[in-house]
Amino acid sequence: MRTQSPDTHLQAERVQIQLLREAGTARRLALAFSLTQTALDLSREGIRQQYPALTDRERGLKFVALCYGEDLARRVHLDLMRRDP
């Protein structure tokens, strides 16, 4: 077996895979949700660090563009402008 992660030792990866196989569905789902939340939080933090002068709204739109695409970010921006210029 080749490691799937270049920064993880093969034996450590085997242990991780075994633990995942032994975990119940609820635990695997919780891990997936946690990983997703961590990725989203890191994305938001990266945007905050890269664009410190932006308002919260502008940062939010950058986040939408990064995670969901420019088209949705543009539509959200237009809707926000319509609601609260």
pLDDT value for 1: 62
Residues of the chain with pLDDT under 70: 1, 85
pLDDT value for 7: 82
Q: Which of 42, 67, 39 is nearest to 50 (CA)?
A: 42
- 23: left (phi > 0), else alpha (psi -120 to 50), else beta? beta
In terms of domains, do 41 and 10 share one? yes
- Structural domain harbouring 5: 1-50
pTM of the model: 0.71
In terms of domains, do 30 and 19 share one? yes
